[in-house]
Structure 1
Amino acid sequence: MIRTTCLVYFICIPFSLFAVEPTNELQKEESESKPAGQKIRDRRIQIQNDFVVEPSPQPPPPNPSKEFSLKNENGAKYVTFYPGVQANLSDLKIVSSTGGRAVMMDDQRMDQNLNFLYDLKSPEWQMGENWGLFILNRNVNFRQSKQKITDVVATNSSTSEDSGSSNKSSPIKQYTNKDLGTETFGSYHMLLPAIYYGQKGNDKFRIGLGLGYSKVNIQGTADFNDGNGYFNNFLVFSSGSNLDEKIDNMGKYSLINNGNIDADPYRAYLLSNLSSGNHLEALGLYTLLKGDVNPKSIDPFLALFYSQLTSNNLNPLELYALLTLGIGRVNSSSNQAKSFYLFWEIPIGAINWRLGIGGPFYTQNGYKISLTTIEMSFYTPIEF
């Protein structure tokens, strides 16, 4: 009985040993029987099944705020500054209530008319695909050293058919720019709401028109007698019977014809009765202290003429006062001069090219004043 039981245990134990094999050994045998590529794929699948890590999404880096740039596709956020250079040709026209006129011109040499550009522009408000609005602050300095006068160069004879063989002659006139010693200078600052045709942005082509107001300041001298100021003063001074009458005639003629745009009350008082007391000397001192007469406009031959006719009885201040009456004095300013500006802008890389025409026009004390400027500028828009 004992032998039979041991035999049964001996037979069962080997069967139990061969019936269950370790998992590692099975996997080892399977892995040895598989090719290398299949091993790698199986290992990758096992890793993915065991542990899958999905990285958390990273937020995109914030875009820095762009408060300053040279050119922005959508234009400036606050204001655009236009630093650059501009070439201006300005004409100043002054017409008095009595018909006297003075047309002052630039030297018209490029090196004499170059100035710095420092205009400002508001953000652009686009009203449609091709229309928009902005506000322009334009600043201009000017100086005119020549004057446009009329020359009669010949006489043209013509025959009238109605009057038979009677001849009529008409003068042939031409306008020339001459240096009469007169000079005007100053500045104006325009504030213009402008409408333009073009797309938004300083890197886009546009053409526009602005209408607004300007602050204007003009000083200098001008001939209101079409280049005959000294000759007319010679006739007026010679018409008096005595020295006091000659001086009075000069004062009244200058008050009416030679420019009193700013209606200076003290100057008007002296000119209205120039021979009384020391009015002539006071006028010379007052004009010298104000410095609104260019010494270049004083004619030395006229000084010799006055000295001879007065037998050298005039002191230097009185003689200086008479000499300054030979030409008109321009001293004008306005804070609300009507203005216009027509412009055309073309972007060229980092810079812009602009061609414009415009200026202020206003009336002061019976004088009609208009200043027209043709401008060409090169500038780099700086946007804020």
Structure 2
Amino acid sequence: MIFNEYVRIFTNRVYNLTQKYAGYLFIRLKHALVETFFRYIIFSLYLFSIPILSQETNQKLPAKNLNSKLSNDGVQELKIKFQNDQTIIPLTPKKPYEPPKEFSLKKENGSRFLTFYPGVQANLTDLTIQSDTGGNAVMKDDQRMDQNLTFLYDLKSPEWQIGENWGLFILNRNVNFRQSKQKITDVVATNSSSSEDSNSSKDSSPIKQYTNKDLGTETYGSYHMLLPAIYFGKKGNDHFRLGAGFGYSKVNIQGTADFNDGNGYFNNFLVFSSGRNLDEKIDNMGRYSLLNNGNIDADPYRVYLLSHLSSGNNLEALGLYTLLKGDVNPKSIDPLLALFYSQLTGNQLNPLELYALLTLGIGRVNSSSNYAKSFYVFWEIPIGVINWRLGIGGPFYNQNGYKISLTTIEMSFYTPIEF
């Protein structure tokens, strides 16, 4: 009886202890199984990723010395040891150091649409006018820097490279000019030469000297060139080039010129003095001016007045017409010639008639053309962010029996702005 009671008590304690610690042991066993399972999964994934990383490394990078810390391509290698196996994991490649570029509006491959050339230019422009009757006028620049320095605003199309060293583009060049002097021929001496083989032959020839004088004449205007140009050089405004172009220009010229080699006033005075009476003197002046003193634009109203200068009030009308149009610079009117005309006519001329006669002493230049042939030869050198250019060229054309040519020598500094 007592033994049975002890057996029951021992059995209850064993049951209670088993029930108490069974849950704890089960939880620990479950955690151990889960931890072992995840370790197995991670280890399997890592072993599976090793051949993939090795294959990508072999495809992207050439063979390198594993002992170097930095390869030639700038890729830093990281060595990792895992269970006695060595694995190389490449890090992100480092970009090579590039020095900062200087400020420039030039594009490496040139412009896509057009290039604008803002800058300054120094131009020396000569204007030559020749008539069928032998009249000739050569107008020259003042050749002072402050008179010839102007703004540059040329335009250029994209460049089309032909081969390695040749290319094409279209250039729009714009030039303003003003000439205040005239080239005059002076005979300074006579050169005599005799031949020993001939006793009677003696040849003499004048020695001529050309000077630029201020005769009170002045021409001014502008021209705008549009020409295809071919060049020798690389593509882009940051390369040296030598080129030439031929095209057309729109030209506008106004002013006055002496078509008698500096003797315009003297020749007109002789013509006026050759008449027997006042009407004949006035008619002689009109015809001479119409033929020799520059009627380039063939103004029909002016042609009519000069052809019938003594009829009615034509002389007075010519003075008023010239004054209103402003064709003649007052600087070119000689006051001494005005005194001669007044004395020869017995003070019979009113101020407008006298002004008309004075304006006939020199030639009037009023010329324009929309299709003047043009040429241009240039040399360009890049100097940092700016370019230096030296060029020569200009338009030439015929108008109403006159041959007109403009030749400009240009030196400019500009900054290409490419679009």
Q: TM-score, normalised by structure 2?
A: 0.77
Distance 2:263 2:349 in 1: 25
Aligned-partner SS, 1:107: coil
Q: 1:162 to 1:228 in 2, by over 3 A?
A: farther
Aligned AA (1:251): G
Equivalent position to 2:258, from 223, 227, 237: 223
Mark the runs of 5 or more structure 1 residues left unpaired by the alignment.
Answer: 1-20, 26-41, 55-68
Provide the residue aligned with 1:200 in structure 2. Answer: 235
Distance 1:135 1:213 in 2: 12
Provide the residue aligned with 1:355 in structure 2. Answer: 390
Provide the residue aligned with 1:278 in structure 2. Answer: 313
Equivalent position to 2:380, from 341, 345, 367: 345
Distance 1:160 1:276 in 2: 58
Equivalent position to 1:111, from 146, 153, 163: 146
Provide the residue aligned with 2:410 in structure 1. Answer: 375
Equivalent position to 2:325, from 281, 284, 290: 290
Q: Which moved more, 1:327-336 or 1:157-166?
A: 157-166
Aligned-partner SS, 1:284: helix
Q: 1:86 to 1:22 in 2, by over 3 A?
A: same
Distance 1:382 1:156 in 2: 58
The answer to whether residue 116 in structure 2 is matched with residue 81 in structure 1 is yes
The answer to whether residue 267 in structure 2 is matched with residue 267 in structure 1 is no
Distance 2:44 2:261 in 1: 103
Provide the residue aligned with 2:357 in structure 1. Answer: 322
The answer to whether residue 402 in structure 2 is matched with residue 364 in structure 1 is no
**Where in structure 2 are the equivalents of 1:1-384 lying within 5 Å?**
49=46, 70-384=105-419
Deviation at 1:70, TM superposition (A): 1.3
Aligned AA (1:71): K
Aligned-partner SS, 2:268: helix
- Percent identity, please: 85
Distance 1:280 1:334 in 2: 30
Aligned-partner SS, 2:253: strand
Aligned AA (2:224): H
Distance 2:196 2:324 in 1: 62
Distance 2:118 2:373 in 1: 25
Distance 2:211 2:197 in 1: 35
- 1:334-375 C-alpha deviation (Å, 9 max, x unpaired): 000000000000000000000000000000000000000000
Distance 1:214 1:307 in 2: 45
Deviation at 1:263, TM superposition (A): 0.6
Distance 2:401 2:166 in 1: 40
Distance 1:50 1:144 in 2: 90
Q: 1:76 to 1:279 in 2, by over 3 A?
A: same
Number of aligned positions between the proteins: 343
Mark the runs of 5 or more structure 2 residues left unpaired by the alignment.
Answer: 1-27, 33-38, 54-103
Deviation at 1:295, TM superposition (A): 0.6
Q: TM-score, normalised by structure 1?
A: 0.84
Distance 2:262 2:341 in 1: 20
